[in-house]
Structure 1
Amino acid sequence: MEQINQIKQYADKLRLTKLRNKAESIIHQAQIDKPSYLEFVQQLLEAEVLQRQENDYQRRLKLAHIPVSHDLDQYDFNFANGLTKPQLHQLRELLWLEQNYNVILMGPSGTGKTYLAAGLTYQAIKNGYRAYFMTMEEIITIIRMKEMVSSALSTYNRLLKSHLLAIDDI
């Protein structure tokens, strides 16, 4: 028991939160499975990496300000908006993002531009990109306030470092 407490303390100092929180169960499972030393270390590190990836994904998703409806799998192609399945599939591949191209979604009100922009933002976050969804009015407010309010400045800096900025209501 003393060794487990020591492992937890080391994990805490190294900020290995998954290992700290699950040390006993991971060690217990290893005693049952009897992996090699290399496999055991790999399992420990893999658990920590997966947890950090999930935490990073959740953080990026929270910061993105994506509207509630953003699942492109639910996209209605029967609605007359001019976008075909192959076109949507091509947009979802995010090749345009990797090649630093801009995508402009244009059309009359109510044709699903916001839905598509939110869905593409979500897709980018799922693929590990830093992406944000904001209205033009919000962006203008941030630019105006960045010199006066520290939170606006930090948001402004995050926007500058983002891979994708979806701007709604231009």
Structure 2
Amino acid sequence: MAGVDHAALVGMLDRLKLTAIRDQLDTLLDEAARSDMTLREALAFLVGREIARRDERRIAMASKMAQFPFVRELDGFEFDAQPSLDPRQVRDLAECRWVAHGDTILLLGPPGTGKTHLAVALGREAIRRNYSVQFVTAATLVAMLAKAHADGALDKQLALLSRPKLLIIDELGYLPFEANAAHLFFQLVSRRYERGSILLTSNRSVGEWGEVFGDPVVATAILDRLLHHSTVITIRGDSYRLREKRRSGLLQKAGASIREAETTTS
């Protein structure tokens, strides 16, 4: 084997589909030599790079399939700006034991407080741990269920939405549910109950969900299943977007303009 040339080695790596090692072969071998690694250490180093590349591709593909609206990580969340949040609790949730158990997380709070950021970040952590994830807004979800119901394909749609280990439903409560939507949502929650996890964000407290769904009885049945094995996190803080505008002085300027217009009118 001492006489194996570069091309032959690349060919063997191709056959084994070790593309990360193949693409960085000279660099990796040089680094191993400079570090004076033993053969065992060098092998672990090369295999580690291969695994890292495959994990990167898996995460990228799974994130694309999850249909996240943007990329967010927990490291980028400003916990100091939301003192009602316990960073240790959130980081514990990032271990995803709740996903393994099929539990539910409810993230509640006013608009702009970082609920979607946390939802996406926790979804990406689940993907890193090899769980399948799907992200959808509540409005889009209800539209999908309503269309499937009208087309006689509700059971098929419910089956598709039951496949991901984690289903993230964002922005529940921003738009009122139409007639029959609450019943369709209930069927989805029932289908996933104790089988797959749900992470749900809402700007409304659970006490207001009767208004959100337009049917207090169905809302109670939905909450009964969601809250059975759940973690409820309520964020009490200012909107990030409004805080940035305050910092820039835009809100003060807007307020001054309104007062000036009122004075002129009167």
| Range into which the TM-score falls when normalised by the shorter chain | 0.5 to 0.7
Q: For the Cα contact (< 8 Å) 1:7–1:23, is it kept in 2?
A: no
1:63 alignment partner, one of 36, 52, 65: 65
Q: Does 1:100 align with 2:94?
A: no
Separation in 2 of the partners of 1:8 and 1:141? 51
Q: TM-score if structure 1 supplies the norm length?
A: 0.68
Secondary structure of residue in 2 paired with 1:15 = coil
Larger RCO of the pair (alpha carbons < 8 Å, separation 6+): 2
Question: How is 1:1-170 mapped onto 2 (pairs within 5 angstroms)?
Answer: 3-68=5-70, 70-73=72-75, 74-75=77-78, 83-85=85-87, 87-106=89-108, 112-139=114-141, 160-170=162-172
AA of the residue aligned to 1:124: A
Unaligned runs of 5+ in 2: 149-155, 173-266
Q: How many residues align?
A: 160
**Per-residue deviation, 1:49:** 1.2
**Per-residue deviation, 1:75:** 4.0
Q: For the Cα contact (< 8 Å) 2:79–2:87, is it kept in 1?
A: no
Q: For the Cα contact (< 8 Å) 1:72–1:119, is it kept in 2?
A: yes
Q: Which has the larger radius of gyration?
A: 2
Separation in 2 of the partners of 1:137 and 1:68? 18
Residues 1:10 and 1:110: Cα distance change in structure 2 (over 3 Å): same
Cα deviation code 1:105-128 (max 9, x no counterpart): 345655544333223213323444
**Per-residue deviation, 1:71:** 3.9
Separation in 2 of the partners of 1:36 and 1:79? 49
Secondary structure of residue in 2 paired with 1:103 = strand
Q: For the Cα contact (< 8 Å) 2:99–2:165, is it kept in 1?
A: yes
Which structure carries more strand by proportion? 2
Residues 1:79 and 1:2: Cα distance change in structure 2 (over 3 Å): closer
**Per-residue deviation, 1:4:** 0.9
Unaligned runs of 5+ in 1: 146-152
Separation in 2 of the partners of 1:24 and 1:111? 48
Q: For the Cα contact (< 8 Å) 2:107–2:115, is it kept in 1?
A: yes
Separation in 1 of the partners of 2:104 and 2:165? 11
Q: For the Cα contact (< 8 Å) 2:65–2:134, is it kept in 1?
A: yes
**Per-residue deviation, 1:98:** 2.4
Percent sequence identity over aligned pairs: 26
Separation in 2 of the partners of 1:112 and 1:93? 19
Residues 1:15 and 1:112: Cα distance change in structure 2 (over 3 Å): same
